[in-house]
């Protein structure tokens, strides 16, 4: 089950990432979970090994690897019991600068992101009042000479306290003055080091798992006009452009989680003897694990299909959304089966099952909730009327 398949083009990367992860065992993550602390050493190790710059082109000092390689990195991190949520955003956020940034922005930021000098971990999209309805967001950036003045609030901005830069989506033209509600939104690179205390306030949000998420308040924050990415008013499209890559990568994390749960559960089910026989001999234990494995493999194929399309320059909207749906369902099915297989011990911290169980639940909600993916498939794939 745990052997990489023969045709895996990234077997070497997986082996190297697994070696790195072995330096960060369950005890490391349990301590962070208790303290709600950030895995600084883990992120540093990934940065030094160049994994977080996997998708940055070589001309900016990155590895210039294909999306499938980045997926293999994140999958392995999760399959080894670690958590890529501490740093995965850097992999896909930088794509917005790469695709839509000016040559100067690319030079200025991408090369420093590649060396680890700058961390681009914060992605400010979600707001408390708009939720999934992104185009209703209220944070406003008003042009004032050679700067923008930003006012508003974001919520669930993860890793903000551990990032130097934030990619911010804000409205630059009021919604009632644009033809389409997707117009009039703009994307900015915000230097958080200069902003905190000067119009930006970050407040940590405690959650059911250790995710280092925050809410951010903007009170007349000044952002240089040169930090606008691409054209004013087209920011929503730029963010959408990056979503397929994001969904495929997050789905790869789900596959990693599913692998971890299935290995943990099957090892335990073989060893644990109750009524004079291993519990894994009971079909009541076997079947949920077998089903979760099949779900995981199906999701894995969808990721591969999505990555292949992406790497061929096509738009894998259908595949990326289905991969995220199938991946999140597979990891959740595996988590549930693993916890049940462990009986009472599934609730004990030292087994790591309850921690991973809490962590993997998130994928049903973020970065996009399952309902919204189903709506996407219904509308854009099946041609049904838009429901919202
Ligand atoms: C731990 C964590 C980390 C996050 N990190 C980030 C981050 O770094 N940056 C960022 O910008 N955001 C982040 N998010 C936000 C995340 O993307 C949103 O929580 C998610 O998109 C759902 O939005 P919402 O919470 O506002 O839910 P709502 O939009 O309020 O939805 C609530 C529920 O209603 C359902 N629903 C809403 N509309 C419909 C509809 N039309 N049809 C059917 N069902 C519907 C949703 O599926 C959901 O189940 C994070 C969230 C969490 C919990």
Mean of pLDDT values over 211-233: 98
Q: Which two tokens stand for residue 311?
A: 């790497």
Q: Give the residue among 165, 184, 168 at the shortest CA–CA distance from 176.
A: 184
pLDDT at 382: 98
For residue 132 and ligand 1, the question of a CB distance below 6 A is answered with: yes
For residue 213 and ligand 1, the question of a CB distance below 6 A is answered with: yes
pLDDT at 79: 98
pLDDT at 2 over 80: no
pLDDT at 126: 98
Mean of pLDDT values over 129-153: 97
For residue 156 and ligand 1, the question of a CB distance below 6 A is answered with: yes
CA-to-CA separations, 177 to 127, 132, 228, 229, 318, in angstroms, rounded: 21, 22, 20, 21, 32
**Ligand 1 atom nearest residue 375's Cα:** 42
Element (H or E) spanning 214, and its range? strand 213-224
For residue 226 and ligand 1, the question of a CB distance below 6 A is answered with: no
Q: Give the model's confidence band at 8: pLDDT under 50 very low, under 70 low, under 90 confident, else very high.
A: confident
**What's the gap between Cα 109 and its chain centre?**
21
pLDDT digit string, tens, across residues 167-203: 999 999 999 999 999 999 999 999 999 999 999 999 9
Q: Which of 360, 367, 375 to mutate to test the pocket of ligand 1 (most atoms within 8 A of CB)?
A: 367
pLDDT at 3: 55
Question: Is the preceding peptide bond at 367 cis, omega within 30 degrees of 0?
Answer: yes
For residue 152 and ligand 1, the question of a CB distance below 6 A is answered with: no
Mean of the per-residue pLDDT values of the chain: 96
**Ligand 1 atom nearest residue 130's Cα:** 26
Mean of pLDDT values over 239-254: 96
End-to-end alpha carbon distance in the chain: 42
| Percent composition of the chain: helix, strand, coil (DSSP 3-state, to 5) | 55, 15, 30
Residues forming a β-bridge with 213: 205
For residue 375 and ligand 1, the question of a CB distance below 6 A is answered with: yes
Q: Give the model's confidence band at 289: pLDDT under 50 very low, under 70 low, under 90 confident, else very high.
A: very high
Kindly report the number of other CB atoms within 10 A of residue 1's CB atom: 9
pLDDT digit string, tens, across residues 303-343: 999 999 999 999 999 999 999 999 999 999 999 999 999 99
Mean of pLDDT values over 61-72: 97
pLDDT at 158 over 70: yes
Share of the chain above pLDDT 90, in %: 97
For residue 365 and ligand 1, the question of a CB distance below 6 A is answered with: yes
Q: Which of 84, 124, 132 to mutate to test the pocket of ligand 1 (most atoms within 8 A of CB)?
A: 132
pLDDT digit string, tens, across residues 79-119: 999 999 999 999 999 999 999 999 999 999 999 999 999 99
Distance 215 CA to ligand 1 centre (A): 14
Residues forming a β-bridge with 215: 155, 203
Q: Which two tokens stand for residue 115?
A: 């060396």
pLDDT at 5: 52
Distance 239 CA to ligand 1 centre (A): 16
Alpha carbons 69 and 13: distance in angstroms, whole number: 8
CA-to-CA separations, 74 to 21, 28, 59, 214, in angstroms, rounded: 11, 18, 23, 23
Q: Which domains does the chain have, with CATH numbers?
A: 11-115 (1.10.540.10), 120-234 (2.40.110.10), 240-381 (1.20.140.10)
pTM exceeds 0.75 for this model: yes
For residue 109 and ligand 1, the question of a CB distance below 6 A is answered with: no
∠ CA(281), CA(284), CA(289), 5° rounding? Answer: 85
pLDDT at 6 over 70: no
Alpha carbons 95 and 110: distance in angstroms, whole number: 10
Name the DSSP class of 378. Answer: I
**Ligand 1 atom nearest residue 368's Cα:** 21
CA-to-CA separations, 89 to 86, 292, 388, in angstroms, rounded: 8, 27, 28
pLDDT at 1: 63
**Ligand 1 atom nearest residue 388's Cα:** 41
Classify strands 165-171 and 120-124 as parallel, antiparallel or unpaired: parallel
Alpha carbons 154 and 1: distance in angstroms, whole number: 42
pLDDT at 266 over 80: yes
For residue 52 and ligand 1, the question of a CB distance below 6 A is answered with: no
């Amino acid at each position: 089950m745990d052997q990489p398949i023969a045709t895996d083009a990234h077997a070497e990367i997986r082996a190297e990432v697994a070696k790195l992860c072995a330096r960060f065992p369950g005890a490391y993550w349990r301590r962070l979970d208790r303290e709600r602390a950030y895995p600084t050493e883990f992120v540093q190790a990934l940065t030094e090994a160049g994994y977080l710059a996997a998708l940055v082109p070589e001309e900016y000092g990155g590895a210039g690897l294909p999306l499938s390689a980045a997926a293999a990195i994140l999958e392995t991190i999760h399959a080894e019991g670690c958590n890529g949520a501490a740093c995965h955003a850097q992999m896909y956020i930088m794509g917005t600068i790469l695709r839509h940034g000016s040559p100067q922005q690319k030079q200025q930021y991408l090369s420093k992101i590649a060396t680890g000098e700058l961390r681009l971990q914060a992605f400010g999209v979600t707001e408390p009042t708009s939720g999934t309805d992104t185009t209703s967001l209220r944070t406003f950036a008003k042009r004032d000479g050679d700067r923008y003045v930003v006012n508003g609030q974001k919520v669930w901005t993860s890793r903000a306290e551990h990032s130097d830069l934030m990619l911010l989506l804000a409205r630059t033209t009021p919604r009632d003055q644009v033809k389409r509600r997707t117009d009039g939104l703009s994307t900015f690179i915000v230097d958080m080091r200069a902003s905190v205390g000067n119009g930006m306030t970050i407040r940590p949000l405690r959650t059911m798992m250790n995710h280092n998420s925050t809410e951010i308040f903007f009170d007349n924050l000044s952002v240089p006009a040169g930090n606008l990415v691409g054209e004013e008013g087209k920011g929503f499209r730029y963010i959408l452009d990056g979503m397929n890559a994001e969904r495929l990568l997050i789905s790869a994390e789900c596959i990693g989680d599913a692998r971890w749960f299935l290995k943990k559960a099957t090892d335990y089910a073989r060893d644990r003897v109750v009524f004079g026989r291993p519990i894994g001999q009971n079909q009541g234990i076997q079947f949920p694990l077998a089903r979760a494995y099949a779900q995981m493999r199906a999701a894995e194929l969808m990721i591969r299909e999505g990555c292949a399309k992406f790497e061929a320059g096509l738009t894998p909207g259908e595949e990326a959304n289905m991969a995220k749906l199938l991946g999140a369902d597979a990891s959740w099915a595996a988590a549930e089966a693993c916890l049940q297989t462990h009986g009472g011990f599934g609730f004990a911290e030292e087994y790591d099952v309850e921690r991973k169980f809490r962590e993997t639940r998130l994928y049903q909600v973020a970065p996009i909730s399952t309902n919204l993916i189903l709506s996407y498939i219904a509308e854009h794939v099946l041609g049904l009327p838009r429901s919202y």
